[in-house]
Amino acid sequence: MTLSPADNASAGAAKDPLHGVTLEQLLTRLVQELGWATLGDLVRINCFRSNPGIKSSLNFLRRTPWARAQTEAVYIGWVQGEDVAAIRTRLKSMAAAGPAKSKPAPGKKNTAKAAVNPWHKHPG
């Protein structure tokens, strides 16, 4: 039996807890369930700790990939029924793995030239 494209889409949605969830929905659910204090303890960013708000947090998360990844990891842990200690362990394992290295876009070459050292002595 083969799956139709609609079945494949729903199967992918069942595997991915982030499928169809906007960043705003994700953040709102986390704040309702965990609160700003717990969220700030898990993801150590000032927009969760000092005068927190949905709008300012969304702006920061959209511009900061590592913070967004950590917040999404908290959400995935919460959706899977993990307690705060298990979510904290998940975040520590992410940190131990290190940041994902970004690769330059294909077709883009570094055209910057090395700076000339004015104190370099030319062979004479």
The CATH number for 61's domain is 1.10.720.30
Place of tokens 């970004």: 102
What is the per-residue pLDDT across 12-48, written as a single tens digit (0 to 9) for each? 566 888 999 999 999 999 999 999 999 999 999 999 9
* Structural domain includes residue 32: yes
Tell which residue, 101, 94, 108, has the closest CA to residue 44. Answer: 94
Q: What is the pLDDT of residue 5?
A: 45
**What six digits make up the tokens of 12?**
């992918």
Task: Summarize the confidence of residues 85-95 as an average pLDDT.
Answer: 90
**3-7, 39-43, 87-91, 113-117: lowest mean pLDDT where?**
3-7
Q: What is the mean pLDDT of the chain?
A: 82
Work out whether the CA dihedral 104, 107, 112, 114 comes out positive or negative.
Answer: positive
3-state DSSP call for residue 105?
A: coil
* Structural domain includes residue 114: no
* Structural domain includes residue 89: yes
- Given a cut of 80, whether residue 106 has pLDDT beyond it is no
How much is the pTM? 0.68
The answer for residues whose C-beta is within 8 angstroms of residue 29's C-beta and 6 or more apart is 75, 78
* Structural domain includes residue 104: no
94 — pLDDT class (breaks 50, 70, 90): confident
What is the domain count for the chain?
1
Q: Domain residues for 89?
A: 19-97
* Structural domain includes residue 108: no
Distances (CA, A) of 116 to 22, 30, 112, 120: 48, 52, 12, 8
* Structural domain includes residue 25: yes
Task: Summarize the confidence of residues 59-69 as an average pLDDT.
Answer: 96
